[in-house]
Structure 1
Amino acid sequence: MVKFQDFQLSPSILKSLKRIGFEETTPIQEQSLPFSLAGRDIIGQAQTGTGKTAAFGIPMVERTDARVKAPQGLVIAPTRELAIQVSEELHKIGYDKKVQVLAVYGGQDIQRQIRALKKQPAIIVGTPGRLLDHMNRKTVDLSRIRIVVLDEADEMLNMGFIEDIEAILEKLPAERQTLLFSATMPERIRQTALRFMKNPEFIKIRSKEMTVPQIDQYFVKVEEKDKFDALTRFLDYHSPDLAIVFGRTKRRVDELSEALSIRGYTAEGIHGDLSQAKRLSVLRKFKEGNIDVLVATDVAARGLDISGVTHVYNFDIPQDPESYVHRIGRTGRAGNSGMAVTFVAPREMGYLREVEKTTGRRMRRIDVPSLKEAIEGQQRLAMEKIHAAISENDLSLYREAAEELLSESDPVAVVSAALKLLTKEPDRTPVKLSFERPLPAKRTAKNRKTSVKQKEAVNGQKYFRRKTAGKR
C-alpha cells in the first residue's frame, strides 16, 4: 500500500494528515494523486466513502497559497450536508498550512455568508444554487480560482443542477485545474466534463464486494427525539460486552458520551478534534474493558482494530453505504458473530435501501425493547455474574453469612434480593441532546424527474421576466 509521504507532499500537509490518522492511501487516492498533484484534470469514478475528499483535498490545499487573500480553490457539492462534511475535512487537511475554508449553502443566513466571504477564504465549498446567488450578487470573487472540484457530479445531475454548474464553470478562469468525481458516469456528465476540461485523465475504481456474513443486521424506525431512550433500552436489553455507537458529528459524539455517562454507562467518545494522546488513551481503556461503550465518528473509527466488540449501534445512519460496511465491520471479527442495529428516521428509509443494495442483504426490522425486556436483559447479566462466581468456587468466606440468610428467609427471596442488587435498572435521568436534522430524503427516479421539470419551469419564468422587462 502506498503511503502519503511517498508523494513528496509539503511538510505541513503531511503533519495534518498524520494528526487525523491518514497514513496509507485508498485506491482512488493512490491512482489520482500523481496526476492531480502534477496539475492534470481528472475524471474519477468511485463510490462514495472511498476517500474521494482527500483525493481532491490534498492537491487543492497543496496548490493554495495561504498568504494570498483570495479564493483559490472551489468545491461544488450537491447538498448542504455534503458541503459541510467536505469543508470540515478540507479544514483538517489544511490546518497546519493555515488554509481558511468556508462552506456556503442554502438555508443559512446569506448576510452571515457575505460577511465571511469578505474575509477572502482560500477555499470555498458550496452548493450550486447558493454559489450562483453569490456570483450574481457579486459577493464572491472567483477570478483567482486555481482548482475546481465537482463532487458527486451524478447526484447533481439527478437533482437538476447541471445547468447551474455549467453557468459557474463558464465564469471561472480558463487557466485552472478541474477535477470531477462521480459514482456513475452518465453521458451528460461526460459531455460536460469534456467541454470544460483539458485532456482529462480517466480513473475508475471498482467497488469491492461488500460482505458481512457473520453480522446480524437490524434496523429500528425511530424519530430523532426518541433515539436516545431507544439506544439505552437496547444497551440494557443486549448487555453487550463491548459496544461502539456511531454518531454523524463531533457534537453528537460529545453529547452522546456525556448523556450515556449520566445514565450510568461507562462511555467515552472519540472524534477528529481529540489529540492523538487522548484518542489512544480512550482506545486503550476500551480495549481493556474499562469502557463499555465507545462513541465515535466515522473518521475517528478509521482503522480501528479492536477484538471483542459484540455490538455496533448506528445512532445516525451514514450517508453512504461503504461507511456503513466500514462501521459494522468493527464487530463479527475473527470468526465471531456480531450484531449491528441502525436507527432510521422515517424520511431516511431510502438510505437504508441503498445500504441493503450494496451489501446484498436485507436488514430485519426490530422494535425498541420494552422496559420489562430491558430489565430482563440486565437480570440475565446479573445471573451470568452469579454463575461465574459459583464456577470460580472461591466462596468459603461467604458461606456462613449465606447459611444465616437462608435460615432466616425464604431461599427464593434471598436470591431475588441478590439479583435486584446486582441488576442495573434502567435509569430515566433526563438528558438533553441537540437536534440533528435527518438526512435529506433520497430522491427516487420519479421525483428526480419532477425536480428537474420544476427547475426548468422556474428558469423559464426567469427568462420570460427578463425578456418582458421594460415592455409593460
Structure 2
Amino acid sequence: MPFSNLPPLLTEALTERGYTALTPVQAGVLESEALGRDLLVSAQTGSGKTVAFGLAMAAQLLDEEGRLPQQGPLALIIAPTRELALQVSRELMWLYAKTGGRIVTCVGGMDASKERRALNYGAHIVVGTPGRLRDHLERGALDLSKLRVAVLDEADEMLDMGFREDLEQILDGTPGERRTLMFSATIPKPIAALAKRYQRDAVRISTVGEDRGHGDIAYQAVTCAPADIENVVVNLLRFHEAETAMLFCATRDNVRHLHAGLIERGFSAVALSGEHSQNERNAALQALRDQRARVCVATDVAARGIDLPTLSLVIHVELPRDAETLQHRSGRTGRAGKKGTAVLIVPYPRRRRVESMLKGARINSEWINPPTLEDINAKDHERLLVTLLEPVEVDDDDRALGAKLLETRSPEDIAAALVRLHRARMPAAEELLGQGNDPAPRQDGHRPGFEDIVWFRMDIGRRQNADPRWLLPLICRRGHITKSEIGAIRISASETLFQIPRAVANRFNASVLRTAGTEGGDEGGIKIESVQGEPREAERRPRLTPSARPSGPPAARHKPKPHRRTNDRQR
C-alpha cells in the first residue's frame, strides 16, 4: 500500500480521490529526515504541492485518533491570490473531510464580516491571502496563539507582488515553536533571506529537476508574421478544439481586445484581468467549469492559482518575459497526471530570443508552422466522423421525424445537411498573410507581370533579422497592397530592396507616406522610400548612418497592432 505511513483517515481520502501513488514532491515531504522539520521546497505549479503540505502537516494537527482537536487555528496557509487560496481550500477540504476539520478561507473581495464570524465560530485550518489575513489579525479576529504550522505557498510570487511586509507581520504574530513550510517555484535571494529569518534548520527539497518544463506538457513554438498573431490564435483554437483553453496576454488592454475578437468570431470565451471584479472573476471561472465557456483570455497575475481540470491547451499569445513566467503559465495544464499542450506564438524576428529562453529552461519544444485551412479541415473531418458515428439514444418522436425526412430527401442529402449543421456551429478559420503557395517572392529574377517595376528600399537588413516571411505582411500593411503585387526581395546587411509594379507604385508610395508615423503603421520607425535605378546602382549609394537607423532589437520594433503593450502595472 503506497500510503501505509499516513494517518488512516487521510489514506482513505486519497484512495477515494483516485490516488494510487504520490508525486515526487508529496513523497519528498514525507521522507524520514523531513518529518517534523521546517521545509524549503522547490516545486513547479501542478506538481501536487497542496496535497504535499496537507500531508506534511498532518502529524502536527491530528490527535491519536487521527482527528483534529476542538481548538484552533492550528494551521495557516498563505497564498498570493484569491483563486489559489480558494483552490487550496477545496483541496484541503476533501483531504481533511474525515478528520472533522473546519477550514476557513479569508481572501480579498469576499465578505469580511462572514469570514470573521467563521473564525469566531472556530477553525482548525485558515487559508488566505496576505492582505486579508493581516487585516483580520489587526482587528483581533484571527488568533494565531495556538498555531502549530505556517505554510507559504508560491512564496516567490508573494514577494514579487509586494507582500513582504504583510508576510512578516503575520509570521511575527505566530508562536516561535511553530513549524514553517515554504513552497516556491524558485529560491531567489529574497526567498532565502525570508527562510533564514523565519525557519530553523530547514530541510531543502527540490523536485524542479524532475518536473522542469512539466513532463506532462508538450511544448510547441509556432512561428508567424507579427501581423498574423490574432489569426494564428484563431487557427490554433480551431485546430485543437480543446475542451478548455487558456490564452495569455501581457496587459489588460490586450486581453480586452483579443477577448472581443474571439467573441465576434463565435468562440465562447471569458476574460480575466485586473479590471474585473471578484464577482466577474467568479462568474467567468464558473462558466469555464460548467463548459458554458471554453476559452479564457487572461493576464499572468489574473491567472495565478487557477485550476481547471479540463484545461488541456495553453497559448502564449504574447511571449512571457522569462522562463519562470513561461512555466507558471504553462503549468495551468498538464496537472495531476493529465496531458496538456503549451503553444508559444513566436513572431519571426523574436525566434532567437525564444530559442534561448527555452534552452535556458531546459524545455524541448517542437517548432512548427501555424495550422493551415487544410490542416483544420482535416481535423474537422476526423472529429465530425467520431461525433456523428457515436451511438445515440432516440425516442419515437425522433424516429418519426427521421422517417418523414427520408420521405422527401435521400439519406445522402440528410447526412450532408447534418454535416453542414455541425460545421456551421464552428468559428471560421483564418487565412494567414504569411502562408500560401508563394509565401515570399524569389530573391532574384522577375516574376511574370513584373517586367516594368519600381524599386523601394527599407532601412532594415540581415543585422536586424530581416526575413521575407515577416517583411512581406509588413509591406502589405504599410502600402495597402496584396502580396501578389510584390516582386523580388533582396536583403543585404543593413537594408532591404523590393519590387513594386510601376502601375501601382504611386498608390503604394502614397499609402506608405500616409501610414508613416501612425500607431501600428509606423512599425517601430522603419523607413520605406522609392529608389531610382537598378539595385546595383542603389547599393552604391551611402548606407544609412547608425544614428539614422532605428535602434533596439526587432522584437521591440515589430509588435502587432492588436497587442499593444501598456504600463506593466496594468497586468
Q: TM above 0.5, one fold? A: yes
User: Residues 127 and 422 of structure 1: is their aligned pair in 2 closer, same or farther, counting only changes over 3 Å?
Assistant: closer
**Equivalent residue number for residue 111 of structure 1:** 113
Find the counterpart in structure 2 of residue 28 from structure 1.
Answer: 25
Q: Which residue identity lines up with residue 91 of structure 1 in the other structure?
A: M
Matches within 5 A, 1:49-448: 49-65=46-62, 66-208=68-210, 209-210=212-213, 219-220=233-234, 222-223=258-259, 230=266, 251-252=286-287, 255-256=290-291, 312-313=312-313, 320-326=329-335, 330=339, 359-361=363-365, 418-425=415-422
CA distance in 1 between partners of 2:385 and 2:40 (Å): 59
Q: Distance in 1 between matches of 2:195 and 2:24?
A: 22
**1:188 alignment partner, SS class:** helix
Q: Measure, in 2, the Cα distance between the counterparts of 1:180 and 1:162.
A: 14
1:248, 1:316 within 8 Å by CA — same for their partners in 2? no
**How far is the alpha carbon of 1:132 from its aligned partner?**
0.8
SS of 2:18's partner is coil
* Per-residue deviation, residues 20-65 of structure 1 (Å, max 9, x unmatched): 2223111122122135873111111222222211111113344325
SS of residue paired to 1:179:
strand
Contact 1:35–1:42 (8 Å) recurs in 2: no
Q: Alpha-carbon deviation of 1:188?
A: 2.3
Are residues 385 and 84 of structure 1, via their aligned partners in 2, closer, same or farther at CA, if it must alter by over 3 Å? closer
From the superposition, tell whether residues 377 and 72 of structure 1 become closer, same or farther in structure 2 (CA, over 3 Å).
closer
CA distance in 1, matches of 2:260, 2:18: 31
Instruction: Note closer, same or farther for the CA distance 1:421–1:376 as it changes in structure 2 (3 Å cut).
Output: farther
1:5 matched residue in structure 2: 3
TM-score (norm: length of structure 1)? 0.56
How many equivalent residue pairs? 331
State the shift of 1:163 in Å: 2.0
Change (3 A) 1:324 1:420: same
Indicate how the Cα distance of structure 1 residues 323 and 23 shifts in structure 2: closer, same or farther if over 3 A, else same.
farther
| Alignment check: 8 A CA contact 2:36 2:179 kept | yes
Distance 1:4 1:299 in 2: 27
Distance in 2 (alpha carbons) for counterparts of 1:186 and 1:340: 26
TM-fit CA distance, 1:254: 5.5
TM-score by length of 2: 0.47
Q: Residue in 1 aligned with 2:447?
A: none
Equivalence for 1:19: 16
Query: Cα 1:178–1:381, aligned 2, differ >3 Å: closer, same or farther?
Result: closer
| Distance across 2 between alignment mates of 1:225 and 1:117 | 44
Query: In the TM superposition, what is the alpha-carbon distance from 1:140 to its structure 2 partner?
Result: 1.1
Distance 1:30 1:416, change over 3 A: same
Match of 2:393 in 1: none
CA gap 1:229/1:89 in 2 versus in 1, 3 angstroms:
farther
Deviations 1:231-257 (A, max 9, x none): 579xxxxxxxxxxxxx9999446521x
2:46/2:331 contact within 8 Å kept: yes
What RMSD, in angstroms, separates the aligned Cα atoms of the two structures? Answer: 5.1
Counterparts of 1:31 and 1:380 in 2: how far apart (Å)? 43
Other-structure match for 2:273? none
Question: Are the equivalent residues in 1 in contact too, given 2:316–2:342 (CA < 8 A)?
Answer: no
Partner of 1:263: none
- Report the AA paired with residue 5 of structure 1: F
- Separation (CA, whole Å) in 2 of partners of 1:228 and 1:171: 52
Q: Is the 8 A contact 2:221 2:365 kept in 1?
A: no
Q: 1:41 touches 1:198 (CA, 8 Å); kept in 2?
A: yes
How far apart, in 2, do the equivalents of 1:24 and 1:419 lie? 48
Q: Is the 8 A contact 1:114 1:139 kept in 2?
A: yes
**Contact between 2:10 and 2:96, CA under 8 Å: does it hold in 1?**
yes
Rounded Cα–Cα distance in structure 1 between residues aligned with 2:267 and 2:24: 35
Counterparts in 2 of 1:62 and 1:53: CA distance versus 1, 3 Å: same
Q: 1:341 to 1:125 in 2, by over 3 A?
A: same
Q: Distance in 2 between matches of 1:161 and 1:385?
A: 49
- 2: CA distance, partners of 1:150 / 1:199: 17
Tell me by how many angstroms 1:94 deviates. 0.5
The alpha-carbon distance between structure 1 residues 229 and 54, as it changes in their structure 2 partners (threshold 3 A), is: farther
Structure 2 unaligned spans of 5+:
63-67, 223-231, 235-246, 248-257, 270-281, 295-305, 318-326, 346-353, 389-406, 427-564
Q: Is the 8 A contact 1:219 1:363 kept in 2?
A: no
Q: 1:414 to 1:74 in 2, by over 3 A?
A: closer
Give the Å deviation of 1:129.
Answer: 1.2
Displacement, 1:170? 1.1
The answer to whether the 8 A contact 1:71-1:123 is kept is yes
| CA drift at 1:313 | 4.9
Pairwise CA distance, 1:67: 3.2
CA deviation map 1:130-153 (0-9, x unaligned): 111111111111111111111111
Q: Distance in 1 between matches of 2:286 and 2:93?
A: 17
